[in-house]
Amino acid sequence: SLQAGLAVLLKAERLFHSSYHSQAVHIRPVCRVSNCLSLIQDASCLAVSWELRQTLTVVFDTFSSGQGKKDWSLFKMFSRTLTDACPLASQSKVYVDISPKNKEKELLEVTPPPASLHEAIVQGDKRTYAVYDLLSPSLFNTSRSLNVQLKWKRPQDSSELPIPVLHAQRYVSGYGLQTGEISTLIYNTHPYRAFPVILLETVPWYLRLYVHTLTIVTKGKENKPS
């Protein structure tokens, strides 16, 4: 049902009006061993179950859609707020990245104040996340809905956009099957560290790709794919 939990945010006109969205369904066999699930390692498994995992990834360009403002909220992005948790969910949490860009001054303000924080190392940098547990009874005590908002405490330069350590862009050049090309550029702006990258290219079904025309260039030198 789309009437409870995080599913209430799945509003079609909002999701499909985003900069990027991807839906995926993952199905894999798992072996039941001692009432625990583990990947099948050999043929000795006697009881096999199937695990279904559905994911939805959405990227909103709130900077351009918000008239140059970096502030955002759940209501601005989805036109809805969270009212309760899914009754069938064993976990239902919202994580908000509140890592300050300036290490000396806290520039970000998130409301309502989170009950807990979570810290993790992402691409070599320490990140801080505000955690909202929809299964916590105290979350909806003060308000009947949860509208997470993130604001900047002082005005920021609208032209100053943070550049992520890893970012990419893709463009199409030429036309037709002979001169048409798809180019994907991946950038690593870290001053000294290299990162493993997995690239998944999604192309329309009507676009025919020839693998023998694939070229990979790193720092001006061509790497022949295996």
**CA-derived radius of gyration, the chain:** 22
pLDDT for the residue 185: 92
Buried b (16+ CB within 10 A) or exposed e, 23-49: eeeeeeebbeeeeeeeeeeeeebeeee
| Mean pLDDT per 10-residue interval, the chain, length 226 residues | 77 81 90 55 74 89 62 85 87 87 64 88 83 85 80 61 80 80 89 86 79 87 80
Rounded-to-integer distance, Cα 134 and Cα 46, Å: 38
| Residue with tokens 């798992």, as numbered in its chain | 30
Rounded-to-integer distance, Cα 73 and Cα 75, Å: 5
* Secondary element (H or E) of residue 13: helix 12-15
Determine if the pTM surpasses 0.85: no
Q: Find out whether 114 and 131 touch, Cβ atoms under 8 Å.
A: yes
pLDDT for the residue 162: 65
Peptide bond into 112 cis (omega under 30): yes
The edge-to-edge listing of strands for the beta sheet with 149-152 is 72-73, 149-152, 108-111
Q: Please state, as a whole number, how many other Cβ atoms lie within 10 Å of the Cβ of residue 87.
A: 8
Rounded-to-integer distance, Cα 80 and Cα 9, Å: 6
pLDDT for the residue 34: 46
The gap from C-alpha 112 to its chain's centroid, in whole angstroms, comes to 22
Pick the closest to residue 153 from 110, 114, 115 (CA basis). Answer: 110
pLDDT for the residue 106: 59
Would you say the C-alpha torsion 64, 69, 72, 78 has a positive or negative sign? Answer: negative
Q: Please state, as a whole number, how many other Cβ atoms lie within 10 Å of the Cβ of residue 69.
A: 15
Question: Following CA atoms 32, 35, 39, 40 in sequence, which dihedral angle do they give, to the nearest 10 degrees?
Answer: -30
Pick the closest to residue 76 from 90, 92, 62 (CA basis). Answer: 62
The gap from C-alpha 65 to its chain's centroid, in whole angstroms, comes to 18
Query: Which amino acid, 45?
Result: C
